[in-house]
Structure 1
Amino acid sequence: MLLVELYSPDRLAAARRATAEAGLDALLIGPSADLRYLTGYDAHALERLTLLVLPADGEAVLIVPRLERPAAEASPARSVGARLVDHEDGSDPYDIVRGLLGDRVKAVGLGDRMWAEQVLALRDALPDATQALAGAVLRGLRLRKTPAEVDALRRAGRAIDAVHERMGEWLRPGRTEAEVAADIAAGIRAAGHATVEFTIVAAGPDGASPHHGVSDRVIRAGEPVVVDIGGAMPDGYCSDSTRTYCIGEPPADFAAYYAVLHEAQRAAVAAVRPGVTAEAVDAAARDLIAQAGFGAAFLHRTGHGIGLDGHEDPYIVAGNATPLEPGMAFSIEPGIYLAGRHGARIEDIVVCTAGGVERLNTIDTELVIL
């Protein structure tokens, strides 16, 4: 797929309209998924200022350090309608912002993850402008994926599925979690990802910690192993998938609660359709787990949105009454974690469709015994 199908002037135009509707005069967006969403530029977060200045009624200007200009020029930024302006070391880039916006702006939206030193410098550069979060403006644009974005996530899903299908090559007794994770990371790149975002390999009692990561612990026969992996594709869209494996026959208590988890994950996927709330999908999994007596062992929300960020809206969690709409993409990943013993999680990325739901991870969710 050509990047123009993902990164087009339509995004800047939609962001201008949303900015005006929010009562803001401009958005100021630094290196982030928001910047990449709007311009296609995957900028490094540096002490040198990179900033998209997007007035609600004017020209988009991407301010970059002079040494980063070649990278910005190689991105889709100019083709989507952003003019590039660079600054050299020793100059004050906030003077450029002041010159572009001056005293004509009274309210600006700043990137949600902008560094504090930049927020304060922009406050000094634009003293008459109140500051708000740009996420409130951009969230609605990024929440519903276009068909081109769903295609990108579908490709990411196939790529990470291919890595899970190779797990038998790497996951075996006598190897450490870290050794397996290194092989998985190479496999993620070999499957077409541009970057490896995370590799969780959690064996035995480590599996009871949802974000364990990896350690030098040696994997033993008979242990369940939670493998949660993901990366970003060259177009920036992310993968994320968890499967649970067992090295030989699983412990009886583990097999019993894995069956509960499997049913809960399938029930949550089946609950996805337009109009159903995010919290109702969470409840579809959580209620079954609680009824089986493992409610306290389900430690986290059922899911998170995914796109250019690995975690973004919508969040599939109690208290989120957002109705699902076609194009919303998110994980369904209930888990059960028994401290000091073992744990399990099953995660698929799904997208809400006009007719219900599509799983973007299509490999089996049954327990895999190696």
Structure 2
Amino acid sequence: MSTPPFSSSVYSARLERASALAAEAGLDAVIVGPGPDLQYLVGVEGDTIERLTALVIGPGIAPTVVVPRMELAKVRSTAVGTLGLAVSDWVDGENPYDLVAAAVGSVAVGSVAVGSVARVGVSDALPALHVIPIGERLGVRLELATPVLREGRMIKDAAEVAELRRAGDAIDAVHRRVPEWLRAGRTEREVAADIARAIVAEGHQTVEFVIVGSGPNGADPHHEVSDRVIEEGDIVVVDIGGAVPSGYNSDSTRTYAVGTPDPEAAERIAVLVRAQQAAVDAARPGVTASEVDDAARQVLADAGLGEAFLHRTGHGIGVSVHEEPYIAPGNDLVLREGMAFSIEPGIYFSGEWGARIEDIVVLTADGCERLNTSEHSLRSV
């Protein structure tokens, strides 16, 4: 990435917030490996490899990036460079865990830690390949920093909401074009290929997933695509998403009928649309995640469709397609302004068909903003 997607002030505020949250949690340091947390904090994208890249932050610690020298130019093109963060680069044959220890300010002699560091958290995307030697080098028992890192990512700032809105508009444009490709005689895979091209054409940088579940395949919530030939009368679930250039994701599901749908199926899907709307209406600051889930679930249960709803109502979204908060039964997390998540109840009838309606919403001061506005009702194509 040649230009960070947000201003330096945005990334600086995120780093300061993460360090403050670490202090509140009693952590002396947090080590963040490649993954969504590193992308959120400093704009560094990519996955973990055998060569260690890590950001070290914490109360009283100058944010430091440990990075292989061969990745140095890439890392400096992100907020790491624009903020002028300390960088400790290394080459093969050197020990990067020594650099982590130096940044943390702790070393171990045998199993005894030398220095004031007692509690160190690591991001949940950092693999055992690196966690174990880091723990040995620091001489402390590492713990997950998830409670610290998720707190920052759950509340979206204005810049993030703008990117989620951009992603929502782009995926809505794709759904409006689905009737161009969805018809009897084509395979799910053929339709999915057209949709994937449109996801990029309509403004996404990457295609994260395309689900085209026709007929009985739609009864599998995580079906992707197959070579099944779509038939007249099929109910088809189309769940699609991608990342816009800033790395923020879209995720929207609509249910289509090829030709004239079975009247009973159409009636049940109309109930599903009402259930999704009930959850949207319930989503506001001060309610719990489980209360939003209950709103959708109750509508379906009242119509005798409760057992056909097989999953949670939603998940958070941002630099990850799935992140906290999770809108699920039993989740007593109190929702707050700035949280962004999906609302996607579904009904599934094994061997027959399935349906799901999904929007992304962002909580406002007194309710929520729906980021997806394409037609919600069953659409015949």
TMscore range, shorter length = over 0.9
1:203 is displaced (CA, Å) by 0.2
One-letter amino acid of the counterpart of residue 153, structure 1: L
1:34 aligns with 2:37: yes
Give the whole-Å Cα distance in 1 for the aligned partners of 2:313 and 2:5: 33
SS in 1 for 2:7: helix
1:71 is displaced (CA, Å) by 1.0
**Identical residues among aligned pairs (%):** 53
The corresponding residue for 1:214 is: 225
One-letter amino acid of the counterpart of residue 342, structure 2: S
SS in 2 for 1:165: helix
SS in 1 for 2:73: helix
Give the whole-Å Cα distance in 2 for the aligned partners of 1:66 and 1:180: 43
1:55 is displaced (CA, Å) by 2.9
Correspondence 1:8-47 to 2 at 5 A: 8-47=11-50
Q: Do the aligned partners of 1:163 and 1:187 also contact (CA within 8 Å) in 2?
A: yes
One-letter amino acid of the counterpart of residue 241, structure 1: S
The corresponding residue for 2:127 is: 115
Give the whole-Å Cα distance in 1 for the aligned partners of 2:180 and 2:88: 50
**Could you give the per-residue CA deviations for residues 162-206 of structure 1, whole angstroms, max 9, x where no partner exists?**
111110111111111111111111111111111111100000000
The corresponding residue for 2:118 is: 106
One-letter amino acid of the counterpart of residue 204, structure 1: G
The corresponding residue for 2:214 is: 203
Give the whole-Å Cα distance in 1 for the aligned partners of 2:142 and 2:5: 36
1:333 aligns with 2:344: yes
Q: Do the aligned partners of 1:226 and 1:344 also contact (CA within 8 Å) in 2?
A: yes
Of residues 171, 186, 200, the one that matches 1:189 is 200
The corresponding residue for 1:83 is: 86
One-letter amino acid of the counterpart of residue 151, structure 2: G
Of residues 3, 7, 29, the one that matches 2:6 is 3
1:255 aligns with 2:258: no
Q: Do the aligned partners of 1:112 and 1:134 also contact (CA within 8 Å) in 2?
A: yes
Gaps of at least 5 residues in structure 2 are 107-113
Give the whole-Å Cα distance in 2 for the aligned partners of 1:132 and 1:252: 54
SS in 2 for 1:84: strand
The corresponding residue for 2:173 is: 162
The corresponding residue for 1:311 is: 322
The list of structure 1 runs, each at least 4 consecutive aligned residues, that deviate by more than 3 angstroms after superposition, is: none
The corresponding residue for 1:54 is: 57
SS in 2 for 1:175: coil
1:94 is displaced (CA, Å) by 0.9
Q: Do the aligned partners of 2:50 and 2:129 also contact (CA within 8 Å) in 1?
A: no
SS in 1 for 2:81: coil
SS in 1 for 2:241: strand
Give the whole-Å Cα distance in 1 for the aligned partners of 2:196 and 2:279: 29
SS in 2 for 1:318: coil
1:341 is displaced (CA, Å) by 0.1
Please, what is the CA RMSD of the aligned residues? 1.4
Over 3 Å counting, the alpha-carbon distance change for 1:2 and 1:33 in structure 2 is closer
The corresponding residue for 2:144 is: 133
Give the whole-Å Cα distance in 1 for the aligned partners of 2:258 and 2:83: 50
One-letter amino acid of the counterpart of residue 255, structure 2: T
Gaps of at least 5 residues in structure 1 are none
SS in 2 for 1:97: helix
Give the whole-Å Cα distance in 2 for the aligned partners of 1:72 and 1:268: 41
Give the whole-Å Cα distance in 1 for the aligned partners of 2:327 and 2:119: 32
1:210 is displaced (CA, Å) by 0.3
Over 3 Å counting, the alpha-carbon distance change for 1:2 and 1:94 in structure 2 is closer
1:301 is displaced (CA, Å) by 0.2
1:6 is displaced (CA, Å) by 7.9
1:100 is displaced (CA, Å) by 2.3
SS in 1 for 2:248: coil
Of residues 329, 346, 356, the one that matches 1:345 is 356
Give the whole-Å Cα distance in 1 for the aligned partners of 2:126 and 2:299: 40
**Could you give the per-residue CA deviations for residues 249-294 of structure 1, whole angstroms, max 9, x where no partner exists?**
1112211210110110111101111111111110110011111111
